[in-house]
Amino acid sequence: MINNDNQQLREELERFKKEKEKIRTLVGQIGGKNTQRRDKIISTIFIIAIIILFIVDILRHILHINIPLPPLFSIEIGILLVSVKIIWMMHQQAKVNHFEFWILNSIEFRLNDISNRINKIIKK
């Protein structure tokens, strides 16, 4: 009986280790360094575009340089860029929330499974 329980625990430990490696691989794919680098590049592009628009507006109003664009064009483009950035950030956060939900759901399933197994072992 004790050997059987030990064997079951070893098998459970092996399954846990395999699942842990699987989750580690998935987390690496989702939140790896490539994603962070891409996020930094996109944020930098948005910041540079907004700074350029700000400089163009300053040149137009303070130095009275005639730029062949409508007066409110830079404000409209700036608002568009900020809106796109906010939408993009919301999309990224939704992906993170989905992944967190998936992880928590998997943990809950495993806990229920382990609880059922423990109850069966206690009954034996």
The pLDDT tens digits for 11-56 are 888 888 888 787 777 666 655 555 678 888 888 998 998 898 888 8
**Residue 59, domain member (yes or no):** yes
Write down the number of H helices and E strands in the chain. Answer: 3, 0
For the chain, how many residues are written? 124
- Residue 58 is predicted with a pLDDT of 84
**Phi and psi (nearest 5°) for 23?**
-65, -40
**Residue 62, domain member (yes or no):** yes
The pTM (predicted TM-score) of the whole model is 0.56
Question: Contact at 8 Å (CB) between 56 and 80?
Answer: no
Binned at pLDDT 50, 70 and 90, residue 87 comes out as very high
Quote the DSSP letter at residue 62: T
**Residue 116, domain member (yes or no):** yes
- Residue 48 is predicted with a pLDDT of 92
**Residue 7, domain member (yes or no):** no
**Residue 57, domain member (yes or no):** yes
Q: Which amino acid is at 111?
A: L
**Phi and psi (nearest 5°) for 62?**
-90, -45
CB atoms within 10 A of CB 27: 12
**Residue 67, domain member (yes or no):** yes
**Residue 18, domain member (yes or no):** no
The domain total for the chain is 1
Chain position carrying tokens 């580690």: 24
